[in-house]
Amino acid sequence: MPNNPLDTQLLDRAIITAVKAHANTERRGKGFPYIVHPMEAVEIVATMTADQELLAAAALHDVVEDTDMTVEQIRQEFGDRVACLVAAESDTMPVGISETDSWRMRKQAAIDRLAAASHDAKIVAMGDKLSNMRAIYRDYMVKGDDLWSIFHAPNGKPDHEWHYRGLARSLNELTGTFAYTEFVELLNRVFGDPDFEQIDLADYEEVGSGFTAVTYIHRDGNTMIKMYGDFIAPEVPLTELMTSWRIANLGLNIPKAYRLVTDGKYFGVEFQRIDNKQSFARAISNSPERLEEYAIQFARETKRLHSLRCDTAVFPDICKRFIDIVDRVKIFDEAQKQKVRNFIESTPKTQTCCHGDLHIGNLLAADGQHYWIDLADFAYGNPLFDLGMMCVTANLPDGLIRHLYHISKAQMGRVWYIFIKEYYGVTTDDEVEKHSDLIRKYASLYMLRFSLNSTMEPFMEQFIRDNLLN
């Protein structure tokens, strides 16, 4: 079957030009023709855009730096936009930086320049940087830490980790693309999991708090941090960061996750700050007359989430998560634990995406867009587990609901009722109660989970026994 026709004249000319410019040169230390690298960069850029000028710039990105071609020649042959993109990729010294400056100073200047570059320039750069990162990963698998001796960085591996993590932050605008995710995952395979970076909380203003974390906004207004309580293990923010990068590839609208941070006592994650945002919980609190509208929107966004199929090799199994919880709880004897395990395992298996902490505080509304947040528990499995957490919120005491969600228990009960009607497409009270009766069993599993972090509240234990053991 013939391929679909596509106008590639500009890209074809750029590839021919690149082949001629890099003719008879080797990719340093690789033993293969240099042109292989820019062709790989083109392939990577093609996963992010079909824009022929960006693809042409990827093919030509090294010709100014490594051959006799000039930016002006590229401008004459391929136009101003391609020339500007190639110039942005060329490793020229920024104003105020020279060869006499330290390796880190020169690399930091390049990182800063990339961070300030246009979106298009970052796409072209991503092709180059991911190609480099793939090569580093392949060589590292063969040579191990002996690899670093062939580079110019004075401190070897620590310098390279610092450099590439800086590049990752500079390119975080591309979070959600497969190229960026691959770049970060290869980075972590070579250097290990990202480490926590020291921050000063004096640079941030506290803007909200929940059961497990406090949120702060940086004084520049561009980023925010979610700082977990000291009873939460540092592995939790690490999981949230890595999970956020992977979730972005599913097409869900989420704030970009940037890095791990610590003030020396607490650990957290830095995120993109979403302007003019409010959680659905806060929106209902501020505009109670719109409760039904927000409950319906929340149900629709939840159904959209639950329409996604998860990669079971990437995300954990929510069913196994709850079996592990049952194994660890202390309020059941072994016979009761086995009964609950049997219930969990009887749940029909699916590969549906589950938020893991589904409630109206974890969906933001901002300028007509919706953003899921608090994604550390994202998993795959039956949506009933997710609905269980939503059900928990309707069965908490009034004071706790007001503290966490800023609305009354009566209002939360109304949200739950409208949510179930919209989610399942039912119309009668009997149908709502039928679904609620089943979901309360899954709500009990979440209450069991809460008991692992703190003393079991009497109302929770009673709810669990009424709905899970009877």
Which residues belong to the active site?
A: 65-66
Distance CA 114, CA 116 (A): 5
- How far is residue 305's CA from residue 46's CA, in Å, rounded to a whole number? 27
* 335 residue type, one letter: A
- Please state whether 176 falls in left (phi above 0), alpha (psi between -120 and 50) or beta: left
Closest CA to 405 of 283, 287, 289: 283
Query: Which of 170, 188, 201 lies closest to 242 in space, CA to CA?
Result: 188
Mention every residue, 6+ apart, whose C-beta is less than 8 A from residue 155: none
Q: Please state, in angstroms and rounded to a whole number, the distance separating the CA atoms of residues 297 and 352.
A: 20
Chain CA centroid to CA 15, Å? 34
C-alpha distance from residue 403 to each of 80, 157, 193, 235, 264 (Å):
57, 47, 35, 27, 28
Helix (H, G, I), strand (E, B) or coil at 161: helix
Please give the distance of CA 22 from its chain centroid, rounded to a whole number. 37
Q: What percent of the residues of the chain are helix, what percent strand, and what percent coil, each to the nearest 5?
A: 55, 10, 30
| C-alpha dist (Å) from residue 224 to 17, 184, 286 | 45, 21, 22
Give the span between the Cα atoms of 456 and 42, in whole angstroms. 56
Q: What is the C-alpha to C-alpha distance for residues 228 and 216, in angstroms, rounded to an integer?
A: 11
- Asked if residues 114 and 129 have their Cβ atoms less than 8 Å apart, the reply is no
CA dihedral sign, ordered 241, 243, 245, 247: negative
Q: Answer positive or negative: Cα dihedral of 67, 72, 74, 77.
A: negative
Q: CA-CA distance, 104 to 354, in Å (whole number)?
A: 42
